[in-house]
């Protein structure tokens, strides 16, 4: 078992799938000789060749559109957006063509769309978007959101093998900050299965992606400072999301906080809170709370970015308030 960074684990997942399946290929801007905007595909073109690691013009619409066409012909494209923000230029191809083809004609669309996502890197309003809510609402798409190197490799491999279009949210803040043990063996993390990262009966926090680490830090401080134990559920997949696992945690604690990096209004947390209120209301001892980004574009200035995005202090404050309810 090797210790890898988050981005190394994502790359390892793609590499293994390309070696296992000759129909898998990569497509995107500067992913060949340059190795990608974040070097996730460094060395891939030299090993697999230009026909399987394809540099494209600066056109996200063409990248996603070509991927949809290739997948309909039996290939398994893995398309990269340099930043998730730019996927808006390929939005029509993804939500109209990719998402609806199976329902329209019953055909598989086995493509992966990689989206380097989120902030905390001082990238400013055009390079820090959390786009999951745009696609969460679209039937026909799957969305995965790994928070560990182990899950990054396993979910990438699961996404490539899936016959549905799958969006892989890659959290840029974690790319080289987070390391973990990753098995050398062939494994997948099932799409749609959450992971209980921490046990606790006083409250439950549901989260995913970058904020998982902040939540775990806050949970340890809550235990040390107030003697309260919080369960932490890492969704890992946003569509489908593991409703059974979340509702089980609700029944155990009766108090729920949903945390994500994306803006609160219309975010994934709103759907989770609504589901809990609808299906597990009698198990609640307090209103479901949410913590997320402010409803503004992510600022460039570090101090303003810190003020907009959720952090450990803000999460801890919400946990303490909920625990006291």
pLDDT of residue 71: 97
pLDDT of residue 1: 87
pLDDT of residue 94: 96
State how far Cα 50 lies from the chain centre: 28
Kind plus residue range of the DSSP H or E element containing 17: helix 6-20
pLDDT of residue 242: 98
pLDDT of residue 201: 94
Residues 6+ apart with CB under 8 A from 110: 71, 75, 76, 160, 161, 162, 163, 164, 165
pLDDT of residue 275: 97
pLDDT of residue 30: 96
Q: How far apart are CA 41 and CA 36, in angstroms?
A: 6
So which residues are the catalytic ones? Answer: 127
SS3 sequence, 71-120? HHCCCEEEEECCCHHHHHHHHHHHHHHHHHHHHHHCCCCCCEEEEEECCC
pLDDT of residue 102: 84
pLDDT of residue 199: 96
Below-50 pLDDT ranges, the chain: none
Residue with the two structure tokens 């960074």: 5
pLDDT one-digit tens code per residue, 233-284: 999 999 999 999 999 999 999 999 999 999 999 999 999 999 999 999 999 9
């Amino acid at each position: 078992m090797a210790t890898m960074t988050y981005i190394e684990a994502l790359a390892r997942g793609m590499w293994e799938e390309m070696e296992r399946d000759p129909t898998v290929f990569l497509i995107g801007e500067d992913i060949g000789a340059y190795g990608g905007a974040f070097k996730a595909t460094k060395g891939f073109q030299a090993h697999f060749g230009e026909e399987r690691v394809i540099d494209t013009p600066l056109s996200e619409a063409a990248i996603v559109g070509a991927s949809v066409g290739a997948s309909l012909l039996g290939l398994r494209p893995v398309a990269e957006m340099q930043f998730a923000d730019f996927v808006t230029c390929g939005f029509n191809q993804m939500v109209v063509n990719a998402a609806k083809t199976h329902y329209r004609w019953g055909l598989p669309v086995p493509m992966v769309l990689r989206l380097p996502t989120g902030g905390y890197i001082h990238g400013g309003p055009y390079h820090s978007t959390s786009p999951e809510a745009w696609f969460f609402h679209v039937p026909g798409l799957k969305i995965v959101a790994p928070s560990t190197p182990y899950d990054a490799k396993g979910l990438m491999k699961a996404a490539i093998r899936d016959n549905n279009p799958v969006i892989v949210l890659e959290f840029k803040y974690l790319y080289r900050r987070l390391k973990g043990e990753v098995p050398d063996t062939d494994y997948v993390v099932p799409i749609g299965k959450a992971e209980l990262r921490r046990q606790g009966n006083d409250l439950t926090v549901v989260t995913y992606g970058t904020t998982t680490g902040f939540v775990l830090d806050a949970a340890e401080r809550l235990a040390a400072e107030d003697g309260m134990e919080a369960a932490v559920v890492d969704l890992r997949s946003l569509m489908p999301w593991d409703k059974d696992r979340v509702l089980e945690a609700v029944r155990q604690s009766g108090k729920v906080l949903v945390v994500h990096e994306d803006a609160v209004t219309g975010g994934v947390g709103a759907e989770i809170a609504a589901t809990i209120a609808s299906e597990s209301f009698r198990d609640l001892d307090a209103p479901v709370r949410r913590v997320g980004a402010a409803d503004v574009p992510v600022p460039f200035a570090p101090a303003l970015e810190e003020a907009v995005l959720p952090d450990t202090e803000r999460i801890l404050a919400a946990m303490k308030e909920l625990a006291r309810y």
